Amino acid sequence: MSVSEHVSTVISSCAKSIYALRTLRSHGMDNEALHMIYTSAIIAKLLYAASAWWGFTTATDRQRLEAIIKRGIRSGLCGVDVSTLTEIVDSADDALFHGILYNPNLPRFTLTVS
């Protein structure tokens, strides 16, 4: 099972957004606003439902996705302190599982062994 087509679609969408951000910068938008928009738009696109499809990506897919963040850093559209996509996805997964494990509204089941 491969998600390469999905990865290509996400990368294409991010490339269009990066072009729009560069246009905004050329019209005078400040770096702080660009960084906020990059995080809100580009990083969000990269992470959308990543818990469901990240495990099916190949090393090549992951490199292509990481390149989007590296391009944002190189072009100054996002801050240099942005984590790698792998770290961001792992952190999001940890937060999801922590939220499930410690959600007080979920019923608790105990397993008894006889």
Determine if the pTM surpasses 0.85.
Answer: no
Name residue 44's amino acid. Answer: A
**DSSP per-residue codes, 9-70:** HHHHHHHHHHHHHHHHHHTT--HHHHHHHHIIIIIHHHHTTHHHHGGG--HHHHHHHHHHHH
Tens digits of per-residue pLDDT, 30-65? 999 999 999 999 999 999 988 889 999 999 999 999
Is pLDDT at 110 greater than 70 in this prediction?
Answer: no
Residue in the structure block whose two tokens are 């961001």 = 88
Give me the mean pLDDT over the 59-86 stretch. 92
Is pLDDT at 114 greater than 70 in this prediction?
Answer: no
Label residue 7 by pLDDT band (50, 70, 90). very high
> 68: buried, middle or exposed (CB in 10 Å: 19+, 13-18, 0-12)?
buried
Q: How many C-beta atoms surround the C-beta of residue 67 within 10 A?
A: 14
Residue 23 CA to residue 27 CA, distance in Å, equals: 6
